[in-house]
Chains A and B, each alone.
Chain A
Amino acid sequence: MNSYFSLRDYIFVALMASVMVIVGYLTVPLVIHIPIPGIRSLVSAPFMAVFFALALARVEKVGTATLIAVLMAIVYSMISIILAAMIVIGGVAADMVIGVVFRSYRTAASRVVAGAIYFGGHVFIGILLGTLFIGGDYARTLIRPWPIAGMTLVVVALAVLGVWAGNRLVVELRRAGKFPQLK
C-alpha cells in the first residue's frame, strides 16, 4: 500500500520539526517563569514559523501541518501533555482550513493562513493553562474576549512575519537549486 507521504516528506518534516524544537529549547526558557499567557508562543512563534513554512512549501500536501504537529507533540509530551494536545489541535485546525480553501500548500498565501491558525491556536490553551495556575481576578480578567483576542492577534502577527520570512527563504532555496522549482 502506498503511503500518503513519501519517505522524503517524512524526513524533511522531521528535520524541520527538529529545528523548531531547538528554537523552542533556546527561546522558551527565557520567559517560562513570566506568568503572561501566550508569552512562550510570543517569543518562539516568529522563529518556528520560518521552518514551519519551509516544511509546508516542500511537501505541499494537506496533512503536513498535522504531521508536523504530531511529531512535535510526541516530543513535547515529555514536557507537558497539555502542550502536546495544544500543538495537535493547532495542526489539525490548520489542515482542515487549508484543505477546504486552498487544497494544498503550494501558494505562499496558504502557508501564511496555516501559520496564523497553527500558532494562533496555541494562545487559547496558553490562556486556559494560565487560569488553571492563577485564579482570582487574573482568571476573571483573562477569560474575556478582549484579552484573548489581543494576545492571539499579537502571536498571529508574529507568526505571519515568520511565515513571510520562510516564504522568502523558499525563493532563495529555489534560486540556489536546493528546492524543486514550481511546475
Chain B
Amino acid sequence: MLRVDNISYEYSGTGSKVLDQANLELKQGEIVLLSGPTGSGKSTMALLAAGILQRHGQGLCHGSITLGGRDVTSIIPRDLARELGILFQNVDLQLFHDRVTEDIAFGPENLGFSPESVSICLERELSRFDLCSYRDREISTLSGGYRQRVAMAGMIAMGQGYLILDEPLAFLDRSAGQSLVNLLGQIKQRIGVLLIEHRTDLVKAVADRVLHLSNGEVLPGSPPASANNFFCYGPGGPEVMRAQEASYRFPKYEVSVLKGCTLTLRQGISHVLLGDNGCGKTTLLKVLAGLINPLMGSVELVASKSKGKGPFQGVGLVLQNPDHQLFMPTVAEEVQTFARQKSLAGQLLEELHLDPFAARHPQSLSRGQKRRLALAAILAQRPRVLLLDEPTVGQDPESLKLMLIALHRFVSEGGCLLSATHDYHAGRALGQVVWHMGDGRILEQGGSELVKRYFSEF
C-alpha cells in the first residue's frame, strides 16, 4: 500500500503550506481520483508520493509517505522506480528514444533486466497498450494520446505496482481522453493508480474512490462546483477582420492544416473557436495574427496600417505557453515596456491582481499568474483584435474569473476577441459567436447553444 500520513509541505520562500496534514491511501487494484482546482496541491502531492520533492525540492516537509511499510525517502530512486511510477503532464520530457520499442525497453534496461526479460516485457506492454502496429514507428509521428500510451507502457514495463498520473488529460482532447480512461480501466487489475485530475467529468466513472484537495487537506468526494461565469455582451460593431478561404500547409507536409476557412470578426464581439486537438485552431490564430501567410485565400485587417509581411499591427495573440512570451526582469516592466499608456499598465496589473508581484521576476510566478501576466502585457498594447490560444489551460477558478472579467471589459470597450478553447466553462463564458472547427475547416457557426451541443456530445 502507498500511504500518505499527515503530510504538510511548504515551498521555500512562500510562507504558506500547500498541503496541511493531508492523508491518503492507495492499494493495488484500485483507481483513486484526486481532484481539486489548479494550485490546490495536487501536483505537490504527486511529487511527494514519488519521493521527488523530498530529494530535489527546497521546501519544508513534515509527515511521512510509506510504500509497503517503507519510507519512500529511505528507498534509493532506482529501487523506488521498480515499485512506483509517475507520469507528468508533459509526456514529451519523459520519452527518451526515437522509436516506440526502444523507449518502452528503456526502463527495464535501466533496471538491469536481462535481454530476454526486456523482450518479454516489451511484447506484453505493446499488446496491453495496443501498440503492436506502432512498434517501429517514430514517436514524433504519433499523436499526443499515443505518445502518452507509450510513456505509460514504458512505466508499467518496469513491473511497477503503483502509478501516479499527474493531469494526464491536460493536453488531450475529448476522444483521446476517453481512450485513456478506457485504458486505465484495463490496467488497474494489478496496479494501484493515483489519478490526479481536475477534469473529473471524464474520469469519475472509472475511479473506485474520489477524493479532493481543499485547504491542503484531502477530503472525500468531489470539490464543490465553481460558479459559472456568465457575461452579457453588446450587439457588436463593424467588421474588423476577414478571412476568406484561408488555406495553409506546413512545408514538407502533404496534408493541409487549414482548408479554406472563412470567417469574419466584428468589433465589440467575443468569438470562440471550438475543436479537438490537431484540427487547426492554433494555425488559424497564427494566420489571423499575420504570423504566417495563407498559401491560398486571404486575411485582411480592416483599415490596417500594416505593410508587407509580418504580424498585423493592432492584433495581439496570447500563446498557449506564456513562458515563451515573458522576458523582462520584473512583472511591472513586462506590462509597461510595450504599453500604450503607463496608467493603463498600472490599471491592468491591479485588475488582474498582479500588483503585489510587480517587483518580482515573471518566471517566479505560478502558471495561472504567468498567463494573466501574458494577457496583461498584450492588453496594455491596446490591440484592436485579441486572439487567445487555450486561455484556460492550467487556470485555477480565481485566476480564470479575473481573466474573464478583464476580457469582458476589453470587449465592452469595443475590442474584438477570439478565443480558441476546448474548455466548456471558457466556451460558455466567452461564446457570443461560436465556430466549430474540424479537420482544418469551419464546420458550423452558432452561439452559446453550439457550445452546449459541442460539449454535450461527450
- A contacts B directly in the complex (CB < 8 Å)? yes
Chain A residue contacts of B58, Cβ below 8 A: 180
B363 at the interface (CB under 8 A from A): yes
Q: Does any Cβ of B come within 8 Å of A177's Cβ? A: yes
Please tell me if the beta carbons of B364 and A177 are within 8 angstroms of each other in the complex: yes
> How many pairs of residues, A versus B, come closer than 8 Å at their CB atoms?
16
Is B278 among interface residues, defined by CB-CB distance under 8 A? no
- B147, CB-defined interface residue at 8 Å: no
Q: Which residues of B contact A178 (CB under 8 A)?
A: 363
Query: Which residues of A have CB within 8 Å of B362?
Result: 176
Chain B residues near A176 (CB-CB < 8 A): 361-364
Task: Check if B13 is an interface residue, CB within 8 A of chain A.
Answer: yes
B329 adjacent to chain A (CB < 8 Å): yes
On chain B, the number of residues with a Cβ less than 8 Å from chain A's Cβ atoms is 8
Give the Cβ gap from A12 to chain B, nearest Cβ, in Å.
Answer: 13
Interface residues on A, range: under 10
A180 and B41 alpha carbons, distance in the complex (Å) = 23
Chain B contact surface mostly? loop
Q: Name B13's contact: one of A172, A177, A180 (CB within 8 Å).
A: A177
A-chain residues with CB within 8 Å of residue B329 when the two chains form the complex? 172, 175
- The residues in B between 344 and 366 inclusive whose CB is less than 8 angstroms from any CB of A are 361-364
Q: Cβ of B361: which chain A residues have Cβ within 8 Å of it?
A: 172, 175-177
Chain B residues near A180 (CB, 8 Å)? 58
Bound-complex Cα distance A180 to B12 (A): 12
Query: Closest Cβ of chain A: how far from B107's Cβ, in Å?
Result: 15
A157-183 interface bits toward B, Cβ cutoff 8 Å, 1 = contact, 0 = none: 000000000000000100111101000
Complex Cα gap A175–B363 (Å): 9
Give Cα distance in the complex from A180 to B58, angstroms.
9
B133 to chain A, nearest CB (A): 32
A175 to B359, alpha carbons, bound, how many Å?
11
Map CB proximity to A onto B3-43 as digits: 1 under 8 Å, 0 otherwise: 00000000011000000000000000000000000000000
A7's nearest neighbour on chain B, judged by CB, is B77
Nearest chain A CB to B86 CB, angstrom units = 17
Query: Chain A contacts of B13 at CB under 8 A?
Result: 177
Bound form: Cα–Cα A178–B363 in Å: 8
Residues of A within 8 A of B364 (CB): 175-177
Q: Which residues in window 124-179 of A have CB below 8 A to B? A: 172, 175-178
A176-B362, A177-B364 known, 12 other contacts, Cβ within 8 Å: A172-B329, A175-B329, A175-B361, A175-B364, A176-B361, A176-B363, A176-B364, A177-B13, A177-B361, A177-B363, A178-B363, A180-B58
16 residue pairs of the A-B complex, CB under 8 angstroms, read A172-B329, A172-B361, A175-B329, A175-B361, A175-B364, A176-B361, A176-B362, A176-B363, A176-B364, A177-B12, A177-B13, A177-B361, A177-B363, A177-B364, A178-B363, A180-B58
A-side residues, CB < 8 A to B, are 172, 175-178, 180
Interface residues, chain B, CB within 8 Å of chain A?
12-13, 58, 329, 361-364
Question: Which 8 residue pairs spanning A and B have beta carbons closest together?
Answer: A176-B363, A176-B361, A176-B364, A175-B361, A177-B364, A172-B329, A178-B363, A172-B361
